[in-house]
Structure 1
Amino acid sequence: MDTRLLNSFLTVLRAGGITAAAAELGFVQSTVTTHVQALERLAGTPLLDRHPGGVSPTRAGSLLAEHAQRILDLEERMLTELTTAAAEPTGPVRVCAPESVCAYRLAPLLPEVRTRFPDVSLSLFPAGTRTALTALADRRADLALVLEPSVNPPGIDLVDLGVQRLSLVAAATTGLPRHRPITPAELSAADVLLLEQGCSYSDELAALLAATDPSEAPPRFGGIETLKRCVAAGLGVTLLPTVTVADELADGRLVELRPPTDLARQHLWLAAPSSRWRSPAVRAVHAVLRETVPPAP
């Protein structure tokens, strides 16, 4: 069987339709349709249910998808082991992580990875927890880092890299008290700014505000740098990993406040699929991340 057919089929399921899958794979739509039809002829039964909103797998399609993942993993392992340099780390490694982790924790490691493993090509992709874990399941990522108080997804091996400190920050000109925890009412009146939904610590702060005022709907921002600049300009307060605001706290552009209650302890988790074979390159990067990404100060 041509494994390209399996890859196309899995992409259709992930993308939710033929057109979206073709765009992702760089094929014309008719090519992906032909691949699916070829699989359906081999299986002797429909593999997809077509409906106006896209496609979904039939019972046979779900079974095929389960086996197809294993077949593609085995193909990847076979091709790697057949190369003369199979014992050495070589090839691409794709890592998903929150924006703050990519920019402030992983980017400084790239020179070390390049020096130790010159034949490894490491790619970083910003992603929240749900997106990162989905990317692992869909084989679009090899490793992921997720920032959560706790996490226990099925089929995933986890390494706890430690607690990551958070800071509630405001502009240096803020009138909010710094010597004591601010009250929920003071926080609610301070114009809280948050990252997009799915960010665990922003969502926790949103829930705290909602408990005080259910009508409260703080604005959400798509990036940490934009959020920091808005806070520094006096537009409100926000909660961010301390490592991302260390420079601004040091030079006085931002000041740290005491939150009104204890917030959940955020841990950084290194995640990898349990059943998927890991190439030497993936194992090497996993080891580097496990050894050199200590808890944030």
Structure 2
Amino acid sequence: MDTRLLRSFLAVVRTGGMTSAAAEQGFVQSTITAHVQALERLTGARLLERRTGGVVPTPAGSLLAERARQLLDLEERMLAELTAEADRLAGPVRLCAPDSVCAYQLAPVLPELRRRFPDVRVSLFPATTRAALAALADHSADLALVLEPSADPPDADVTGLGEQELVLVGTAAADLPRDRALTPADLAAAGVLLLEEGCGYSDELAGMVAAVAQQAAPSRFGSIETVKRCVEAGLGLALLPAVTVAGELAEGRLVALRPPAVAPQRLWLVRRRSRWLSPAAEAVQAALEKLLRR
């Protein structure tokens, strides 16, 4: 069996659509559709069903997805053990993390990883917690970093890397109290800018605002950089990791305000317990645990 078919099928299961799977895998949509159809002919079973909002696996499709993950795990291990990379730290390591962690914590340590492991090819892509855990399960990532108050996903080994400070930011012109924590009503009145759904602390803040002003619908943005620029433009307030706004706070372009009580956010390094990990990925994991704690 061509394992490309399995990778395409797992991408469809993970993303919930042919188009999104095609974008992720670097194919046109017709190729992904052909891969799924080839699997259905081979298995003699219907693997996907269409529902509102996307496609989901049938019982046969769920079983195939589970077995596909096992097969791809064996394929990766076989290739690593039988190629020239078996005797040295080399090969690809795929890492996913929240946008803020990618840009402000991982990017600075990538040169150090390259210096330590010159033959290891580390690739990095942003993902919410849900997407990161799905990527680990479907072999599109080897390691994941997630930002959550706690982390105990099934079939996973989790290492805590410390608490991540959050800061509520606005402009100096904002007429808001600085001697006390802002209330959800204050936030609703001033306007809140949120990151995309799936970001735990943004979702928690959205829930607070919705509880006091159900008619308020805070804007969602795909990146921290966009949110910061909109806050600077006076469009509202935002709760962001402190590391992402340190420069703007130091320059006075943004000011720190006291947010309502939100759950402390911690950074966690996650790997699948049941999945074989290459020596290169093991080495990168050990290095990240030290570098990010530092």
Q: TM-score scaled by structure 2? A: 0.88
- Cα contact 2:156–2:273 (8 A) shared by 1: yes
Who is 1:121 aligned against?
121
Who is 1:274 aligned against?
273
CA distance in 2, matches of 1:272, 1:198: 19
CA distance in 1, matches of 2:234, 2:48: 53
Confirm whether residue 147 of structure 1 aligns to residue 151 of structure 2.
no
Shift of 1:219: 1.3
CA distance in 2, matches of 1:83, 1:262: 53
Confirm whether residue 250 of structure 1 aligns to residue 250 of structure 2.
yes
Shift of 1:240: 0.2
CA distance in 2, matches of 1:210, 1:291: 40
Confirm whether residue 291 of structure 1 aligns to residue 294 of structure 2.
no
Shift of 1:109: 0.7
CA distance in 2, matches of 1:22, 1:237: 36
Who is 2:38 aligned against?
35
Who is 2:234 aligned against?
234
- Cα contact 2:162–2:267 (8 A) shared by 1: yes
Gaps of 5+ in 1: none
Shift of 1:125: 0.5
- Cα contact 1:92–1:121 (8 A) shared by 2: yes
When the two chains are superposed, the root-mean-square deviation of aligned CA atoms in Å is 2.5
Amino acid at match of 2:293: P
CA 1:107 to 1:210, structure 2 compared with 1: closer, same or farther past 3 Å? same
Amino acid at match of 1:236: G
Who is 1:104 aligned against?
104
Who is 1:175 aligned against?
175
Who is 1:198 aligned against?
198
- Cα contact 1:22–1:32 (8 A) shared by 2: no
Amino acid at match of 1:120: V
CA 1:221 to 1:26, structure 2 compared with 1: closer, same or farther past 3 Å? closer
CA distance in 1, matches of 2:211, 2:194: 16
- Cα contact 1:145–1:268 (8 A) shared by 2: yes
Shift of 1:56: 5.3
- Cα contact 1:98–1:127 (8 A) shared by 2: yes
CA 1:253 to 1:109, structure 2 compared with 1: closer, same or farther past 3 Å? same
Shift of 1:32: 2.1
CA distance in 2, matches of 1:21, 1:208: 34
Q: Deviations over 1:220-241 (max 9, x none)?
A: 1111111111111222111000
Amino acid at match of 1:35: A
CA distance in 1, matches of 2:187, 2:59: 51
Who is 2:27 aligned against?
26
- Cα contact 1:9–1:35 (8 A) shared by 2: no
CA distance in 2, matches of 1:170, 1:5: 48
Q: Which has the larger radius of gyration?
A: 1
242-251 vs 6-15, which deviates more?
6-15
Who is 1:92 aligned against?
92
SS in 2 for 1:96: strand
SS in 1 for 2:86: coil
CA distance in 1, matches of 2:48, 2:192: 45
CA distance in 1, matches of 2:20, 2:235: 39
Q: TM-score scaled by structure 1? A: 0.87
CA distance in 1, matches of 2:189, 2:224: 22
CA 1:18 to 1:104, structure 2 compared with 1: closer, same or farther past 3 Å? closer
215-224 vs 7-16, which deviates more?
7-16
Shift of 1:48: 2.5
Gaps of 5+ in 2: none
108-117 vs 169-178, which deviates more?
169-178
CA distance in 2, matches of 1:243, 1:19: 35
CA 1:118 to 1:209, structure 2 compared with 1: closer, same or farther past 3 Å? same
Shift of 1:46: 2.1
- Cα contact 1:8–1:36 (8 A) shared by 2: no
224-233 vs 210-219, which deviates more?
210-219
Q: Identity across aligned pairs (percent)?
A: 60
Q: Deviations over 1:111-130 (max 9, x none)?
A: 00110001111111111111
Q: Deviations over 1:188-243 (max 9, x none)?
A: 21111111121111111111112222222111111111111111122211100000
How many residues are paired up? Answer: 290
